[in-house]
Amino acid sequence: MPGSNLPFLPGLTFDYDKEKPDQFRKSHVFDYKGGVAFCHQGKPGIGAVSIPNQVNIEPRTSHLIYKNVADVNAKAQPSWILFDRQVLRFYAYFQESVNERRDEQFRIRKCQILFYLEDDSIYVSEPRELNSGIPQGALIARHRIPIPGQSNSQHYTLGDLNVNKTVVFYGKTFKIIGCDAFTRDFLRKCKIDVPENCHYPRDSYQELRHELTSRMKAVHSRETNFGLKKFLEHDRHVLRFYCLWDDTLSKFGETRKMLINYFLADDTFEIFEDVEQNSGRDKRNNTFLRRGKLPKNPELYSPDASSKDPNDYYTDRDLGIGAIISVYGRPFILCDCDAFTRNYYLEQYCVTLNDPITFEDDDNAELLQAMTQRTYPPYNGFGLEDDSLGSCISLIPKPPHKDFKRLMAYDRIVLRFEAKLKSKRMVDKDRRFVICFYVADESVQVFEPHQRNTGILGGKFLERTKLKKENGDAYTCKDFYLGAEINCFGHHFVLEKADEYALNYMQQNHKEFTQSNLNEILAKIKSPELKKTIKPDLVPLEQFEEQFSKLLPSLTLHERQLVIRLLKIDNATVDTKRLLEALE
């Protein structure tokens, strides 16, 4: 400061001019109001000094109108949550002038105005009209449309849209003539009066055009083509007939079996020859007639120019069991058909086809069939029987077919039984075996536990394989139960015991293991004599087994053991009171 005793240096001089601002911060101009981002144009500049020609402008939104809605949550939630996916629809039109045309001076273009409540955005679209020649669809994309003639960048809000009002969007004047029911109900909740809907103005050119199109008719009439309809309805639908071609009249001719496929989609035929094995003909090249239409009179048929008359070709109405068709001069007798073909004629024509026709070549047909029947050599015991049989069917054996559904359902389910060998030899009386039955493929595996001082080495007695009975049938689940006798290549085993898992599994799956059906067992033993003999008491296990086997000798060992398992309290005592309760 001039005239002071302080040196004139930075930090030692002070300016006491009151007209200058005492702070130099910038004003907060960017903000949100009603969920809309805007700029405070009325804020002062740096140092709180007003900017010349500055006007304070408040953003104009529909948030104040939404507060009039009679919903309690309207004030608590923002509009973008409260009115999410809610749209008001107004019906409007704008008039477009048409130049250089005598029959049309203007055009009325109908539109729809969609107002999104969440952000005041507007979308304008025009419904498409057939053959209008005008690019229709979305006229104005969704956004906030500014009000024209205002420099403060204000946009249209809900208060600017109503029936009988006129709005200007980017130079086009839209006249609102109506709204839908939801829009009318929402505006009334906002305490806004909505007039009744009006009609679109009359467009003389459009009326004339509609009148002309209504009187238009096809000049050249033609028959309706049902080809596409037939293709869509019967695509991949094929009628199959088994027939005979009697060619015995020709030199070295014979009766040959044929297979006819009739395609319903396009009325075409396809014929194959049913070549039997060892007939001397190549089975790989058995095509007799390629797919195509079959003419009734081949003499009038030309491959270059097909007839247009559909009656000149065979159709499904000409086919049936017992019918004779001519395949280019060769008579074919239709003898049989498949199930789909029979159902088609029954549903389409209400016709039941005849029974199949059988032809015998000669009196020795049965003898010829027995002579040509394939016989397989007996199983030699090496490997699996299915694998050995594959080498007899073809030169290149294929792996045998397996039931994968059963393998996946019963995988790792093994039932173990303790068995003894049924033999007259004294050495075999004390031998015990463990028989494993695999439910997945019904195969059997036999082990012999090692016993000291017997002179017999234990271990694997039989590799896992399928066993067959004396009549040739394979052993199944029904054949495994306590007391059953299993024939293992001449060795007869009697099943005496089973582990707890096997007994529980057989009882739960009594449909496959029929000996474990508890209801059938109770029905067998239900008798008044049994109730009189057995008294409700705790009986030793050995005494009850002896008494129970004498009273009911018709029961198998498995059925008796199943009843005893249900009555056992421990390993030495049986409660007969449970049996009497079950019998009542």
The structural domain count of the chain equals 4
Q: Answer yes or no: is pLDDT of 314 > 90.
A: yes
- Per-residue model confidence (pLDDT) at position 583: 67
Cβ within 8 Å of residue 361, ≥6 positions away: 255, 368
DSSP-derived letter for residue 27 is: P
Same domain, 124 and 202: yes
64 pLDDT above the threshold of 60: yes
pLDDT of residue 105 exceeding 80, the answer is yes
Judge if 84 and 199 occupy the same domain.
yes
Confidence band of 110 (pLDDT split at 50, 70, 90): very high
At 175 the pLDDT is: 93
The reply to whether 321 falls in a domain is yes
- Asked whether residue 216 is assigned to any structural domain, the reply reads no
Is position 477 within any domain?
yes
Mean pLDDT value across residues 508-513: 86
Among residues 493, 516, 539, the one where a domain terminates is: 516
pLDDT at residue 364 tops 50: no
| Shared domain check, 420 and 326 | no
Residue 31 has what pLDDT? 77
Same domain membership, residue 171 and residue 129 = yes
256 in the same domain as 198:
no
Please, are residues 61 and 86 in contact by the beta-carbon 8 Å criterion?
A: no
Supply the pLDDT for residue 366: 54
Q: Confidence band (pLDDT; 50, 70, 90) for 29?
A: confident
- pLDDT at res. 368: 43
Residue 70 lies in a domain: no
Q: Are residues 194 and 100 in the same domain?
A: yes
| Residue 255: inside a domain | yes
What six digits make up the tokens of 347? 């549903």
Neighbours of 60 (CB within 10 A): 21
- φ/ψ of 215, rounded to 5, equals -95, -5
Q: What pTM, to 2 d.p., does this model score?
A: 0.40
Q: What is the CATH number of the domain that holds 79?
A: 2.30.29.170
Greater confidence (267 vs 44) lies with 267
Average pLDDT estimate for 305-314: 72
Mean pLDDT of 45-66: 67
- Answer whether residue 180 is part of any domain: yes
Q: Which range in 6-10, 104-108, 241-245, 573-577 is most confidently predicted, on average pLDDT?
A: 241-245
Q: Is 57 a member of any domain?
A: no
Do 79 and 200 lie in one domain? The reply is: yes
Q: Beta-carbon neighbour count of residue 260 at 10 Å?
A: 24
The helix (H) or strand (E) run that includes residue 332 is strand 330-337
What pLDDT is attached to residue 20?
59
Residue 147 has pLDDT above 60, yes or no: yes
Q: How much of the chain exceeds pLDDT 90, in percent?
A: 24
The string of pLDDT tens digits covering residues 206-236 is 888 888 888 877 665 666 667 788 888 889 9
**What are the φ/ψ torsions at residue 538 (nearest 5 degrees)?**
-90, 115
Q: Are residues 127 and 88 in the same domain?
A: yes
The pLDDT of 394-398, averaged and rounded, is 80
Q: Is the same domain home to 511 and 526?
A: no
- Tell me the mean pLDDT in the region 139-143: 92
Angle between helices 518-525 and 557-567 (to 10 degrees): 100
- Residues 512-539 as b/e (b if ≥16 CB within 10 A, e otherwise) read ebebbbeeebeeebeeeeeeeebeeeeb
Tell me: pLDDT of 412 over 60.
yes
Between residues 466 and 563, which one has the greater pLDDT? 466
Q: Domain of 250?
A: 227-348
User: Does residue 93 lie in a domain region?
Assistant: yes
**How much is the mean pLDDT over the chain?**
81
Rounded to an integer, the average pLDDT of 149-162 is: 81
Least confident of 174-188, 321-335, 521-535: 521-535
- Residue after which a domain boundary falls, among 516, 532, 555: 516
Same domain, 250 and 292: yes
Length of the chain: 584
- 140: β partners: 124
Q: What are phi and psi of 316, to 5 degrees?
A: -70, -20
Say whether pLDDT at 305 is over 70. Answer: no
d(CA 170, CA 278): 88
Of the listed ranges 89-103, 255-269, 536-550, the least confidently predicted one is: 536-550
In the predicted model, is pLDDT for residue 504 greater than 60? yes
Query: 239: which strand partners?
Result: 262
**Tokens at residue 473, please?**
């049938």
Q: Select from 479, 497, 516 the last residue of a domain.
A: 516
Same domain, 231 and 268: yes
202/84 same-domain check: yes
The pLDDT-based confidence of 129 (bands split at 50, 70, 90) is confident
Residues whose CB falls within 8 Å of the CB of residue 454, separated by 6 or more in sequence, listed in order:
430, 431
Angstrom distances, CA of residue 154 to CA of 58, 63, 120, 541: 9, 14, 12, 100
